[in-house]
Amino acid sequence: MVRNLNKLSVVAFNSIDHNSTRNDMKWFVAKIIFKIYSEGARASQFDEHLRLIAASNFDEAFLKARVLGVSEEETLLTDRNKTLKWEFINVAELIPLSELKDGSEIYSSIHETSEGNSYIHHVHQRAVLMQTNNEL
């Protein structure tokens, strides 16, 4: 369900053909970018979401991804009485998927760093954390 839409987004969302049948739908992966505003933050923070989008064509998928981004903007107050705000920036990538099947690649990204061993250690630590959390 789409929430908190501005007037332009409501018009855009309503223009999407919601009567498409499943057979004519295509799948896309959208990278939706949010800027996080946090009181007292020293560095800029961005939240990148990868979302699965069903649409009949690229333009509809792009529009749906943008509407989703706008609908998920949020401002909240932390337990320390500081404001956090997620502001939709834009859809940075929209990748059509040829098929959905077990093991299909849905996204790929290359990381370049001068600290290769630190990056590998970080990846291993995340894997251990996922396994540990899954056992709880």
Q: What are the structural domain ranges in the chain? A: 7-135
Q: What is the pLDDT of residue 4?
A: 47
Contact in structure between 72 and 85 (CB atoms under 8 Å): no
Q: What is the pLDDT of residue 136?
A: 54
Structure-token pair, residue 52 = 């699965």
Low-confidence ranges of the chain (pLDDT < 70): 1-23, 135-136
Nearest-angstrom CA–CA distance, 125 and 12: 42
Q: The pTM is what?
A: 0.69
The C-alpha R_g of the chain, in whole angstroms, comes to: 18
Nearest-angstrom CA–CA distance, 106 and 62: 16
Q: What is the pLDDT of residue 42?
A: 85
Q: What is the pLDDT of residue 103?
A: 87
Nearest-angstrom CA–CA distance, 70 and 89: 9
